[in-house]
Amino acid sequence: MKFFLDTADLAEIEEAASWGALAGVTTNPTLYSRIGGKLDDFHAHIKRICDIVAPDCPVSAESVAMTRDEIVRDGRELAAIAPNVVVKIPTMVEGLAATRALADEGIPVNMTLCFTVPQAILAARAGARYISPFVGRFDDISEDGLAQLDDVVRAIGNYDFSEDTVNGEQIEIIAASIRSANHVTQAALMGADIATVPFGILKKCVQHPLTDRGLESFLKDWEKVQNA
């Protein structure tokens, strides 16, 4: 499973990239708003993210348009920012139509706000390169988000959608709305291709109290060696 960072914060992206395990970045209007983003700087900000990560790391930038023609127009503009930009489009009727049009033009799409197997299959048939089922938002309404993710992973894995994607790639499932390290664990066990996680959760994936305890013990023992 690959790790994407779910943020628009440049400092977080730079730090995570320095760890050597970052495979991509996902952004959305909420994340951009949280860093005080301005409309007239949005494209430049996406370019700055693309400049930080490796050239083969996809960076999802979301269209907020609501009609297919406007989404396609947005998608073309976003894709022109950098070769690794992926256009993020909500799973809806107009989004499906726009995804098909953009895929036919060779522009990769990440279909977001996906919650059901039928939505995921429709996104796949429309030509989406990535599909992002949300986990935590199901949990917010007292439903099992991990079970829904498992359903999507298994359903998409039943079929070959390579004839629908831009360059014949296999669709990748991005486990999104990740709220804990356990969500990451379960997504990996289910076979999700990617987990896109907030920086705080990514740090928790590295940490464990037994690791800290073992390190503390090693350092104390090494101090004894130095003083022997």
pLDDT tens digit at each of 228 positions of the chain: 999 999 999 999 999 999 999 999 999 999 999 999 999 999 999 999 999 999 999 999 999 999 999 999 999 999 999 999 999 999 999 999 999 999 999 999 999 999 999 999 999 999 999 999 999 998 889 889 999 999 999 999 999 999 888 888 999 999 999 999 999 999 999 999 999 999 999 999 999 999 999 999 999 999 999 998
* DSSP assigned state of 143: S
pLDDT at 166: 84
Give the Cα separation of 62 and 112 in Å (integer).
Answer: 9
Residues with Cβ within 8 Å of 99's Cβ and at least 6 positions away in sequence, in order, are 89, 109, 111, 123, 126, 127, 128
Total Cβ atoms within 10 A of residue 144: 11
Which pLDDT does position 131 carry in this prediction?
Answer: 98
Residue 88 annotated to the active site: yes
pLDDT at 167: 87
- Rg of the chain, C-alpha, whole Å: 19
Cα end-to-end span (Å), the chain: 45
Using CA atoms, how far residue 107 sits from 73, 76, 87, 102, in Å, is 12, 8, 8, 5
Of 47, 88, 203, 204, which residue is the catalytic one?
A: 88
Task: Compute CA 120 distance to the chain's CA centroid, rounded to the nearest angstrom.
Answer: 15
Position 139 scores a pLDDT of: 84
**What domains can you pick out in the chain, each with its CATH number?**
1-225 (3.20.20.70)
Residue 80 CA: distances (Å) to CA of 17, 41, 44, 185, 192: 23, 15, 12, 35, 29
The pTM (predicted TM-score) of the whole model is: 0.94
26 membership: H or E segment, kind and range: strand 22-26
